[in-house]
Amino acid sequence: MDDTYTPPQDPLVVLHDDAEMLVVDKPSGLLSVPGKGAHLADCLIARVQAVWPQALLVHRLDRDTSGVMVFGLTPHAQRFLSRQFELRAARKTYVARVWGRLTPKTGRVDLPLIVDWENRPRQHVNHETGKPAITDWRVLRDSEAESRVRLMPKTGRSHQLRVHMLALGHPILGDPFYATGDALAFERLMLHSEELRIKHPDSAKMMRFRQPTPF
């Protein structure tokens, strides 16, 4: 990644903006936060802070994942929003295209995950040292070649959706870490954070933010 990082230069897509919080659509190929080295400095939070200098990080999406991402605009908002992710109160919904026909139509993956130290940043299933990770899925439509699925993670482990789909034998299409062969031959990772439901830091009202899947 270090030698080929060429993030998209599209303008920010703002889904919501008020005194406490900002919600944007992160494009695929853009880091959420800076990587190591000046060549990895361009990232979503840097672009956001160029317009909202007070913006604070609440959560992350993988570089290759697109979709809804929220920032706090005050320290209180950051704490309030971050706490919901920590307590698994934030409701996240993703859409993915995966290899092959996924059966049954609905299900749950409950497999603990931990970093694969020899192959970082890859993660893997480890029943001895892994941290709990749970993902619910529902097939939206399918064919012999691929399935479009809705993924609802109950935890927020690194690469969770990618490794859980791989563990089912259905890697996410275009995944540079976990897909191989024909499943890799796509222009991007086919994973999008389509919807986030979270309570507002000021009113505590449940808010729904959605950005339709672009693939």
- Active-site residue set: 62
User: In the structure encoding, which two tokens stand for residue 139, read together?
Assistant: 């097939």
| Residue in 30, 16, 9 with CA at minimum distance from that of residue 202 | 16
Dump the DSSP string for 48-84. Answer: HHHH-TT-EE-----TT-EEEEEEESSHHHHHHHHHH
The gap between the terminal CA atoms of the chain, to the nearest Å, is 23
The candidate with the shortest Cα–Cα distance to 72, out of 21, 144, 138, is 21
